[in-house]
Amino acid sequence: MHGKKDRTPVAIDRAAADVSADDFDALFIPGGYSPDKLRAHDEPVEFVRAFVESGKPVLAICHAPQLLINAQVLRGRKITGWKSVAQDIRNAGAEYIDREVVVDGNLVSSRQPDDIPAFIEASLAKLEEAGGGKTMTAAAEQR
């Protein structure tokens, strides 16, 4: 498969239907157009739902809430995201907070690329809290 920018080649090891939340320690959902495209397919939506329900860290930025909305896992949660999905987030029963990072349980969310430094800090803290320990501390020290 090829990425949108510069047609960068990307290898996909396994399909969403062939994995489970048990196979991973955390889930990162990037922004851009990917969440909108993925939410049109049952397998990625079900994978995301199971992952959020597992309690493991879910790291979401920009348009990532679109996928979380379709997974129906936002009701009663606090989250941020790209401003154009703010009303969709509210319609899904979540509280939209216009802040660079929002942490609610296992969910770490951020609005936009300018928020990446704060998003990384909060994500590393959540991963360490979840058991990343020495690996996450080493990653933070390398930055």
Residues annotated as catalytic (active site), given as ranges: 62-63
Phi, psi of 47 (to 5 degrees): -60, -45
SS3 assignment for the chain: CECCCCCCECCCCCCHHHCCHHHCCCEEECCCCHHHHHCCCHHHHHHHHHHHHHCCCEEEECCCHHHHHHCCCCCCCEECCCHHHHHHHHHCCCEECCCCEEEECCEEEECCHHHHHHHHHHHHHHHHHHHHHHHHHHHHHHC
Instruction: Tell me the sheet residues that pair with 101.
Output: 110
d(CA 123, CA 135): 13
